[in-house]
Amino acid sequence: MSGYPLLAVEDLTMHYQTRAGEVCAVDGVSLSLERGQSLGLVGESGCGKSSLALALLRLQPENAQILRGKVLLDGVDLVSLSEEEMRTYRWNRIAMVFQSAMNALDPVYRVGDQIIEALEQHSNAARQDMVDRVGELYKLVNLSPNFIQRYPHEYSGGMKQRAIIAMALACEPDLIIADEPTTALDVIVQDHILREFGNIRKELNMSMLYISHDMAVIAEVSDVVAVMYAGKIVEYGTAEEVFNKPIHPYTRALMSAFPSVTGEKHELATLGGEPPNPLDLPSGCHFHPRCPFATDMCAEQEPPTVRRGDHWADCWNPPED
């Protein structure tokens, strides 16, 4: 096929217009993701993860604006497509499992019909084929076919989650974006569904963008990790590199909040302080008010990119390799 990666985001920048001023929720983000790979996007709540996910599908709210940048899917820039063309990419090529999956099903329609609605939108198959497909999908995500004809309120939380995963898989998309898909569930159910979802995804050779604030979850599901802070990607690399040799102090702080990931104790204290006010971002490195390694330079100028192979981070004072 083509020499393009499946997904390449270049310098994507999105602002929210608010009464208090402009919020730069996605600030010059660049990423790339190969077919079949899984990218974990991690960062504290409010750092712009969901905004980035929505911008990829061009589903940002009305007060948001994509100022510049590209979202290349197989080399096609989604940002420059017409709304009509964009619709053919949604769900068919990029599907999404939402942050609050519990409410992502319309309460007045049967769940099976909602999946068929997505299929109808992107294929001309006969209705019976679509019904059969829903049956297959239910089997795939371990749901009883009896529930196809039921309404969302008749599902438990875990079942809704499975139904939504089934819906995301329906059109066999190239990329699934999962935005903190399991936060509303209890830990055991969450873990179970997560594993199953990961296996299905690998079997079908789909790529995934997995979003979470939880390093432990990211460690479990990602091949590649991107760490986000205040709208920017501050560190990027393979899961192995990022978890074994983190460069950015923010990444290290996030990891020390979850010592189980690497097993060893970290010298860093858990992350103190609050994420910055998006209306009034700190100068230089946005992380400097909370960073234990901050120097005067950090407050004055934006940090340079430190590269160690494909693994990189933006920091003035990276640890020795």
Partner 1 sequence: MARYLISRTLQILLTLFAFICIVYFIVNAQPGDISNVYAMNPELPPDARERLQSQFGLNEPLWKQFLVYVRNVFTGSFGVSFSFYPRTVADVIAERLPRTVALFFTATVFSFYLGFLLGKIIAWKRGGWTEYATTIGGVTLYTVFTPWFALMMIWLFAFKAGWFPIGKFLDPVLWRDAPIEANTLFGRMMLTALALSIIVFVVFVITTRLRIGGARLIQLGSIVVSIGIMLGAWRLTGHGHLAWDIVKHMVLPVFTLTLISFAGTMLLTRNSMLETMREDFVLAARAKGLPEKAVRDKHVARNALLPVVTSLVFSLAFAVDGGVIIESVFSWPGMGQTLVSAAVAEDLPLAVGAFVFVGIFVLLAHLAVDVIYVFLDPRIRY
Ligand X SMILES: Nc1ncnc2c1ncn2[C@@H]1O[C@H](COP(=O)(O)OP(=O)(O)O)[C@@H](O)[C@H]1O
Q: Write down the least CB distance from residue 44 to partner 1, Å.
A: 22
Q: How far is CA 110 from CA 149, 150, 155, 163, 170, in A?
A: 6, 5, 11, 11, 16
Instruction: Based on the shown chain and the rule CB under 8 A, indicate whether residue 89 belongs to the binding site for partner 1.
Output: yes
Q: Binding residue for partner 1 (CB under 8 A) from 19, 153, 188, 309?
A: 153
Supply the angle between the helices 127-140 and 111-122 in degrees, to the nearest 10.
Answer: 120
C-beta of residue 73 within 8 angstroms of C-beta of residue 113: no
Q: φ and ψ at 93, to 5 degrees?
A: -105, -40
Name residues whose C-beta falls within 8 Å of residue 134's C-beta, 6 or more positions apart in sequence: 112, 115, 116, 119, 148, 166, 170
Closer residue to ligand SF4 in complex, CB, 5/282:
282
Q: Binding residue for ligand X (CB under 6 A) from 6, 12, 14, 25?
A: 25
Instruction: Based on the shown chain and the rule CB under 6 A, indicate whether residue 118 belongs to the binding site for ligand SF4.
Output: no
Contacts of ligand X in 263-292 (CB under 6 A): 278
Instruction: Based on the shown chain and the rule CB under 6 A, indicate whether residue 16 belongs to the binding site for ligand X.
Output: yes
Q: Write down the least CB distance from residue 99 to Mg ion, Å.
A: 5
Residue 108 binding target from Mg ion, partner 1, ligand SF4, none, CB below 5 to 8 Å by type: partner 1
Q: For residue 47, is it left (φ>0), alpha (ψ between -120 and 50) or beta?
A: alpha
Residue 73 and residue 33: Cα distance in Å, rounded? Answer: 10
Instruction: Based on the shown chain and the rule CB under 5 A, indicate whether residue 51 belongs to the binding site for Mg ion.
Output: no
Name residues whose C-beta falls within 8 Å of residue 125's C-beta, 6 or more positions apart in sequence: 119, 133
Q: Binding residue for ligand SF4 (CB under 6 A) from 90, 201, 288, 311?
A: 288
Q: Write down the least CB distance from residue 122 to partner 1, Å.
A: 6
Instruction: Based on the shown chain and the rule CB under 6 A, indicate whether residue 182 belongs to the binding site for ligand X.
Output: no
Q: Write down the least CB distance from residue 254 to partner 1, Å.
A: 27
Closer residue to ligand SF4 in complex, CB, 49/288:
288
- Written as six digits, the tokens of 67 are 């100022």
- Written as six digits, the tokens of 131 are 């019904």
Instruction: Based on the shown chain and the rule CB under 6 A, indicate whether residue 45 belongs to the binding site for ligand X.
Output: yes
Q: How far is CA 161 from CA 168, 178, 194, 196, 261, in A?
A: 11, 11, 10, 12, 26
Closer residue to ligand X in complex, CB, 66/76:
66
Q: Which residues bind Mg ion (CB under 5 A)?
A: 50
- Residues forming contacts to partner 1 in the complex (CB under 8 A) are 57, 59, 87-92, 95-96, 98-100, 103-108, 117-118, 121-122, 127, 151, 153
Which residues sit at the interface with ligand SF4, rule CB under 6 A?
Answer: 248-249, 285, 287-288, 291, 293-294, 298, 303, 315-317
